[in-house]
Amino acid sequence: MLTNAYLKRVYDDVTRRDPNEKEFLQAVYEVLDSLQPYVEKHPELEKNGIIERIVEPDRIVSFRVTWMDDNGATRVNRGWRCQFNSAIGPYKGGLRLHPSVNQSIIKFLGFEQTFKNSLTGLPMGGGKGGSDFDPKGKSDAEVMRFCQSFMTELYRHIGADTDVPAGDIGTGAREIGYMFGQYKRLQNCFTGVLTGKGLDFGGSLARTQATGYGLLYFVEEMLKCMKNDSVAGKTVVISGAGNVAIYAAEKASQLGGKVVAMCDSQGYVYDPNGIKLDVMKQIKEVERARISEYAKRVPGSEYGENRTDIWKIKCDIALPCATQNELDADSAKALIANGVSVVAEGANMPSTLEAVELFLKNGVLFAPAKAANAGGVATSGLEMSQNSQRLSWTFEEVDAKLRGIMVNIFHNAYDASAECGMEGNLVVGANVAGFIKVSRAMIAQGLV
């Protein structure tokens, strides 16, 4: 609960200004709540108005995206870029393409990204963008026309040293390719303005795998240090079947875990023999089809229509990797009753505040998104470095750096939790560790 008067005042102000932005308010509440022990010891934060400034984006641009569908009809979507904080580097963060996207979602993601990017140790500020465009069911030509129109507005706001977007839900290599092509054409400039690019034009090896692999590197380190244990032999449930979920599943299996369930927005599959990733990749990455296909193709697996029932499946490790607030208090209770020992967030803010509280109270090792899914953006940072140097590193080099970054993030978050008198509470630890560098940089740069 927010008891510190300064933090409470700032939170009340945000609530008054943006009463309808529920996801943004949720993300702000969680961070401010975590910062209490640190803020109480650092009066310079209030003196410099740091909390008031850190909850207010530097700027948000929103724009109309007009494109033509294959039938010749005019379509209109809304696009956003939220440049949240540039205290420690150029704005950096993904672009989400999903019909649910609105300003609250973009702001919560940009806010979270500021702390996440700080945790990586790389010089990247926080930003996020996207559109309520739904790539599902669209032809490649329609997706291309949308991406070109989106970039025709966005290009004037971004740049390799200003703001570097990347992928997120609904934005993968195909969309980044179309956007990169349009940026290059408009600026007549081949530059590392987007990450997650194709390997033939400046993309980094291991960026595709990075968020999921990084999540598992974090979990492995957390289990080793906090329980003297490892992923080997554990049963794993993963929500989602997109970029993050698929590569989390791949690394979990490589580390000796057994992934028994995955889902998409329509339903889940349970495969007691272990999810066959080649089949899942074919369905999701190649065919862009529904997950129900998996149960039709793999004997012994089952399909269930209610996707939140995935959390009722008994497991040791649960990895929510789909979307925000997909894991609520009831799902948390079901996981706890079934003896879950680790919950690590691959998606951004997938657990509700109530669910997080239940995990912490019941001794579940809980890895919050900002820390646990930072491997994606960290590897984007490595892609930026390679682009600046005009060279490319091997898969092994990038993967080793990614692993080192995730191990560091765990230790920084763990140490910060101990310094705040809440040892092992990685929610507090990650928020405080991410906040320190950004707040110091803001103070040093004066009133901007």
Binding site for ligand 2IT (CB under 6 A): 92-94, 113, 116, 166, 168, 195, 348, 376-377, 380
Classify residue 93 as left (phi > 0), alpha (psi -120 to 50) or beta: left
Write the binding mask 262 to 301 for ligand NDP: x where contact by CB under 6 A, - elsewhere: --xxx-----------------------------------
Among 14, 95, 124, 244, binds ligand NDP (CB under 6 A): 244
Reported as type and span, the H/E element at residue 224 is: helix 207-227
Q: In what order do the strands lie in the sheet with 74-85?
A: 59-68, 74-85, 125-131, 91-97, 163-166
Among 241, 355, 358, 405, binds ligand NDP (CB under 6 A): 241
Which of 175/316 has CB closer to ligand NDP?
A: 175
Reported as type and span, the H/E element at residue 436 is: helix 426-444
Binding-site partner at residue 93 among ligand NDP, ligand 2IT, none, CB < 5 to 8 Å by type: ligand 2IT
Distances from the Cα of 311 to the Cα of 210, 343, 387, angstroms = 25, 11, 41
Residue 445 near ligand NDP by CB under 6 A: no
Is residue 23 classed as helix, strand or coil in its secondary structure? helix
Distances from the Cα of 435 to the Cα of 60, 114, 119, 414, 444, angstroms = 21, 8, 9, 14, 14
Residues of this chain, 42-61, that bind ligand NDP according to CB under 6 A: none
Minimal distance, residue 71 CB to ligand 2IT, in Å: 32
Which of 183/268 has CB closer to ligand NDP?
A: 268
Which of 304/376 has CB closer to ligand 2IT?
A: 376
Binding-site partner at residue 192 among ligand 2IT, ligand NDP, none, CB < 5 to 8 Å by type: none
Minimal distance, residue 117 CB to ligand 2IT, in Å: 8
Minimal distance, residue 243 CB to ligand 2IT, in Å: 9
Residues of this chain, 381-410, that bind ligand NDP according to CB under 6 A: none
Binding-site partner at residue 92 among ligand 2IT, ligand NDP, none, CB < 5 to 8 Å by type: ligand 2IT
Residue with tokens 């200003």: 162
Residues of this chain, 314-333, that bind ligand NDP according to CB under 6 A: 321-323
In whole angstroms, give the CA distance from residue 38 to residue 35: 5
Pairing between β-strand 365-367 and β-strand 342-344 as defined by DSSP bridges: parallel
Pairing between β-strand 163-166 and β-strand 342-344 as defined by DSSP bridges: unpaired
Give the total of residues touching ligand NDP (CB under 6 A): 24
Residue 290: exposure state from Cβ atoms within 10 A (0-12, 13-18, ≥19): middle
- Residues in CB range of 240: below 8 A, 6 or more apart: 262, 263, 264, 320, 321, 322, 323, 346, 347
From the list 92, 107, 116, 128, the catalytic residue is: 128
HSE-up of residue 214 (Cα within 13 Å, Cβ side): 34
Are 282 and 257 in contact, with CB atoms under 8 Å apart? no
Residues of this chain, 93-132, that bind ligand NDP according to CB under 6 A: 98, 100
Minimal distance, residue 166 CB to ligand NDP, in Å: 7
Minimal distance, residue 244 CB to ligand NDP, in Å: 4
Secondary structure (DSSP) of 93-141: EEEEE-TT--HHHHHHHHHHHHHHHHHTTSS-EEEEEEES---TT--HH
Among 79, 129, 177, 346, binds ligand NDP (CB under 6 A): 346
Minimal distance, residue 376 CB to ligand 2IT, in Å: 4
Among 21, 30, 142, 168, binds ligand NDP (CB under 6 A): 168
Q: What DSSP designation does 280 have?
A: H
Pick the piece of the chain touching ligand NDP (CB under 6 A) from 54-62, 182-190, 235-243, 421-429.
Answer: 235-243
- Catalytic (active site) residue 361: no
Binding stretches for ligand NDP (CB under 6 A): 98, 100, 167-170, 211, 240-245, 264-266, 321-323, 346-348, 373, 376
Catalytic residues: 128
